[in-house]
Amino acid sequence: MRRFPGIGFRTNSPGTRDAWVIGTGLDVWELVELLSSYGSAEAVVEDFPLVSERHLQLARAYREAFPEEIDEAIAENNRPVEERVELHPLVELRTPEA
């Protein structure tokens, strides 16, 4: 937190911690994914009023320092549905009604 003022950490499961950007409610990996999908910081800021250019700069800087951590979180989020069902067999999947 000293190295990246504005980055906080929260625990989602025992033994793990997730870096998030204070003031946004979003994890660093989520902001990195937004930047990737939107293509520019300006486009993200325009669509997400609680996210500033400073928040995005922090997320980019943190990812540059800890790429494995952020890439792992992104990969976890992008797991195929089949793999998630296998990992969590008691979770019932529902399809959206048309």
pLDDT digits (tens, 9 = 90+) for 61-80: 999 999 999 999 999 888 88
Sign of CA dihedral 29, 30, 33, 39: negative
Note the pLDDT tens digit of each residue in 18-64: 999 999 999 999 999 999 999 999 999 999 999 999 999 999 999 99
Residue 30: its pLDDT value, please?
A: 96
Cβ-based neighbours of 9, under 8 Å, separated by 6 or more: 1, 17, 18, 19, 20
Question: What kind of fold does domain 7-87 have according to CATH?
Answer: Arc Repressor Mutant, subunit A (1.10.10)
